[in-house]
Amino acid sequence: MNSIFIILTVSIAVSYGWGMRGALLGGLRGAVLPGALLGMFLAIFSGNEIIARNFFIFAAAGASAMAFGGSETYGQTLDLIIHHDSKEYNPKKGYIAVFLKGALWQGIAGSVLGITFSAVSGKYYNGIDIIITLALIPFVSVLGEQIFNKPYNKKEKIFPKIYFSFDRREEWGGNVLVNLMLLIFTAIRHDWYAFFFGIVGLIGGGAGFSLGMLLFDFIANQRKNGKIFAGKYNKYFSGWKAMEFSFGAIAGMLFAVYFVVTKDTMLAERLSNVKEGMPVITSPLTEYSQTLSYISLILVPIIKIVSLFEDKIGDHLADLIERPVLYVFPMILAVSGCELSAKLNAFALIVLFASEKVVFERSRKAPTSKKIIFGIIFGISTLASVILCLFTEIPFIGYILMYTVFYIFANYISYKKPSESGKTVFSYFVIQTLFLVITSAVIV
């Protein structure tokens, strides 16, 4: 398949995912969308029919891995760049921060996806080592926060020495150690494909966030001569969304370039052992795949009950409790080749995230009748997604339609009256969706 077409498609897919993340969800839950799109399109473009049929494994791995960067608060960090008249204006510090946070975000996704492709070969890992390494992520993450993001006391105005916000809790230190752990792990195992996949993620994430912020600043602020981007038509453009689209596009493009360059060499060598009738990835968990998948499914509503007490235990602690269940365990199962779990997490969980956002947050101030309608629509959607994963084979185009049409629908019906720039953004989402849907229909 044409290399330029692959790069263009992956770039647009991740750009769309990143833009929709900012439009509907945000945080860790929103980042699963661009991660899933990245993983599934790389699998489809792998050139291996068996890998392409099992795209959901790579979608689940990418979704879980990219989620972790969502812990990095950056709203106040962007103020260092955007608010020229503010006393906190410090673009040098701001760009260092966004490069760092963007790099750490995409680096984890790159390393995990690289490990997943290498795990297919059965040559670089024995399975147990992957399970142990990924299971360490929550603990390593907390350690990193203690090292880099402490002390922190908002009331007493006590903040860490390296700090990129005004008073928000920062957690990027956790991702520093997670990235280092994954890079060291892949280097020890001589898995240079995954190692450099992680390096490319670091570069692409840092460059994408930084260049996206340059565009944000260019659109949002006046030049020294008093002119502003697009003049009187500036209201039709959103600097914030331009940043998000650019971030995703650049990071996705660099991932795709690396993928294309290594496709016929390192990747082909790893996929050469894939055989029809055999598990895509053989690991110590293969024998227990179904049981573990059902456990993963049962744990989701349990952890959601815990989240109801977020106000009492604090959002940070609630988040730390959720991560092992919603992201680490599913990632371990995906990279271990557990197909049912991968399907549930690449499809049903992503439906759930959008549904609960609309029902429990977006419609909080809506009339009771509207809340009931939303509850019925998205409750049925979530239940149907689980049933589909359990009893049917959802085709690739089905995932694409859920990631695009369903998400656009969820965002549109639960949003307030859009601004002029909001209408432009919606139109761009539609254009991206048409491209992805048509492309998916053609290539599969």
pLDDT digits (tens, 9 = 90+) for 164-199: 999 999 999 999 999 999 999 999 999 999 999 999
Burial class (CB in 10 A: 0-12, 13-18, 19+), 380: exposed
Mean pLDDT of the chain: 94
Task: Yes or no: say if 219 and 242 are a contact pair by the CB < 8 Å rule.
Answer: yes
User: What are φ and ψ of residue 153, in 5° steps?
Assistant: -145, 100
Phi-psi region of 180 (alpha: psi -120 to 50; beta: other; left: phi over 0): alpha
In a domain, residue 97? The reply is: yes
- Percentage of the chain lying above the pLDDT 90 cut: 84
Out of 2-6, 12-16, 293-297, 369-373, least confident range? 369-373
Report the C-alpha dihedral over residues 131, 36, 236, 102, rounded to 10 degrees: 30
pLDDT the model gives residue 3: 96
In a domain, residue 182? The reply is: yes
pLDDT in tens, 411-443: 988 877 778 898 999 999 999 999 999 999 999
CA atoms within 13 A on the CB side of 37: 33
CA angle 425, 55, 430 (to 5 degrees): 15
DSSP code for 123: S
CB atoms under 10 Å from CB of 392, counted, come to: 10
pLDDT the model gives residue 91: 95
In a domain, residue 310? The reply is: yes
In a domain, residue 402? The reply is: no
In the numeric block, which tokens belong to residue 78? 């962007």
pLDDT in tens, 86-96: 888 999 999 99
> Is residue 158 helix, strand or coil?
strand
In a domain, residue 426? The reply is: no
pLDDT in tens, 341-362: 999 999 999 999 999 999 988 8
In a domain, residue 12? The reply is: yes
pLDDT in tens, 84-124: 988 889 999 999 999 999 999 999 999 999 999 999 999 99
With cut-offs at 50, 70 and 90, classify the pLDDT of residue 311: low
Residue 200 belongs to domain spanning: 3-338
With cut-offs at 50, 70 and 90, classify the pLDDT of residue 310: low
In a domain, residue 431? The reply is: no
Query: Which residues are within 8 A (CB) of 90 and not within 5 positions of it... i.e. 6 or more apart?
Result: 80
Task: Yes or no: say if 70 and 31 are a contact pair by the CB < 8 Å rule.
Answer: yes
Q: What's the total number of domains in the chain? A: 1
In a domain, residue 318? The reply is: yes
